[in-house]
Amino acid sequence: MLVAGAGIGGLTVALALAKKGKQVRVLEQAPVLGEVGAGLQLSANAMKVMRHLDLEKAIKATAFAPQNATIRDYESGEYYLRTPLGEVAQQRYGAPYLHIHRADLHALLVEACVQHGVDIELGQVVRGYRNEGNKATLLLDHGSEKADVIIGADGLRSTIRETMLGVQAPIFTGQIAWRGVVHKDAIKDVSIAHDACVWVGPKRHFVSYYLRGGDLINFVAVEERAEWLEESWSHQGDLQQLRRLFSGWHPEVTGILSACESTFVWALNGRPTLPKWHDGRAVLLGDACHPMLPFMAQGAAMAIEDAYVLANLLVRDPVEAALPRYEELRKPRATEIQRISRENAGLYHMYGGLSGKLKLKGIGLATKLIPAIANVKLDPIYGYDVTSVTL
């Protein structure tokens, strides 16, 4: 089997297949294997898959367990929402909620893949595919490769998707995101809460959380823009401009930005729901078929869930049956979480001005009086266990 793309989703599906005895090759266009320096959140639904792949212990050793998920006012620091994580989430959802450096998770997946015989080949630029009876051919810059199935885990600008459905530019959402990682000791005169925190304000918000056992702090700052021409995930950002954007915000926010030495900025792009995720013996996974806005922190988790389902179906069933069943199982859930993530943008950016702020206050009051209200939204996401779903 061939996997196009050696990101989190591609390596997870390769590992899951290899652990079931399948021969897997991962083809990656980058000349050097690695991941960008940014954090990601592994909620309980993702960690249940990692547990089945025997990676939970290794992930815990390098990750950070936040105490709460919070939404706070950009100026006063008032808590609009404070939902316990830590041991409470572990007990409620049956797995931990963790923050991990993307590069650390990537390295763990690479190591596990190699240990289980997965071939990872670099510098392989994918140009498309074609179906040929009971095989599929992956077209490369230099030559081609045949396989029983081709898995397109090649991201938002997926070549596999373009071959399947035609070329379509991503849809700019009107928002851009800045990201960076800061060492905790570089932050002066302010203590950063040990939470997964969303700081909400008019037309922008700021997310902060710890990584690597609490040594690092990751941030993502989102602002609204009329247009954005850069497509790169690693476009160098102007730190002074970023600091100006969040000038006057809470000292935890400005303290993190004051200590930051470099930042990257990228457009938040989306796509409409695709008409199909598979074609013959080619299939899409993760951002290639359902890119997620980062407003529920579920992008990596959805790719990880995809990987588990797809791998188990390909091991059990013929390709002709496995791929339609995979789409049937995964598409409704991914589409719903895409919708929730889009809706959160309005909440985080206080759409409606004062009315938006009052809405946040109302949510906060309601969850204080009836804590179960927050669980109504979070339980279907964090409590979901893809490893127990009937395939």
Helix, strand, coil percentages for the chain (3-state, nearest 5): 40, 25, 35
Start-to-end CA span in the chain (Å): 20
CA distance 16 to 50: 10
209 belongs to the catalytic site? yes
Pairing between β-strand 119-121 and β-strand 25-27 as defined by DSSP bridges: parallel
Closest CA to 46 of 273, 290, 288, 309: 309
Give the C-alpha separation, 128 to 7, whole Å: 18
- Within its chain, how far is the Cα of 234 from the centroid? 16
Element (H, E) at 238: none
Q: Please, what is the Cα angle at 123 between 119 and 127, to 5 degrees?
A: 100
Distance of alpha carbon 66 from alpha carbon 49, whole angstroms: 20
Amino acid at site 69: A
How many angstroms from the chain centroid is the CA of residue 180? 16
What is 48-81 written as a DSSP string? Answer: HHHHHTT-HHHHHHH-B--SEEEEEETTT--EEE
CB atoms within 10 A of CB 14: 31
Q: Which of 74, 97, 129, 209 is the catalytic position?
A: 209
DSSP state of 123: S
Active site residues: 209
